[in-house]
Amino acid sequence: MRIALYHNHQKRSLAIVAELRTALLNHGFVMDDQNPELVISVGGDGTLLGAFHHYIDGCDQRRFVGLHTGHLGFYTDWLSSEVDELVASLLADQGQRVSYPILEMTTVSRDGSRTLYKALNEATVKKPIGTLVADVYLGKQHFERFRGDGVAIATPTGSTAYNKANGGAILHPSIQALQMSEIASINNRVFRTLGSPLIVPKGQVITVWPQQEDFLLTCDQMEIEAKDVLRIEFKVSEQQVHFASFRHLDFWHRVQQAFIADFSD
């Protein structure tokens, strides 16, 4: 099996990477940063997002494993104290995987050019200063004129992040859908939005037409210059991200662990 190690540069992570690399080589695994079959992320959830974007072009053909250097994260199944157990699981691996939907965001410029981005968690359209005014279309139907700080469009796994803070629902990743939530919308007798998150199924496009030129786009951890962008289209990608499932925690267990479990017990 060809394996890549993707990591942050914290001292703890570097020590774990050195230990893990030695163990993998001693057991006959091939280290391949260019075309791996399996990517092991060492760090936290942010590091795994970085691994996803680094290997995004081929993520349909490879699997990811997360090893956390602190508490278990939302995408990470292994702790830094479990290197030997992880290697043993890799030796017994039969190619098991669990797949999650990802978000496809396309910016359309005034000259008609299109740029494609993909997100594991979420994308946003925001105005850092002042009010974002944007027309929102569901499919070809004009749905509302939004006024507020912005909108967030999340995948099911990303529904536990910014979307949850906006009052959105948590979606199980078996549901092929996106969720759009409002960021500090303006609602009064003059201006109205739905005021509730929207869950949009695979096959339908959410299109946001900002009415100003100075706005900000984000795609997971990336900030994108929106100069000359006319509209932004969001949909569930045909591509998916795959995680090795020889030890993959149940989604609701992750949610319970992340938001409810009391680590002081």
Q: What are phi and psi of 26, to 5 degrees?
A: -65, -25
Count of CB atoms situated within 10 Å of the CB of 216: 16
The residue behind tokens 């017994």 is: 92
Which of the following is catalytic: 32, 33, 45, 214? Answer: 45
DSSP 8-state secondary structure symbol assigned to residue 8: -
250 is catalytic: no
9 burial class (0-12, 13-18, 19+ CB within 10 angstroms)?
exposed
DSSP character string of 150-211: EEEEE-TGGGGTHHHHTTPPPPPTTS-EEEEEEEEE--SSS-----S-EEEETT--EEEEES
Instruction: For residue 238, give the 3-state DSSP assignment.
Output: strand
Dist. CA 159–CA 59, nearest whole Å:
21
Just list the catalytic residues.
45
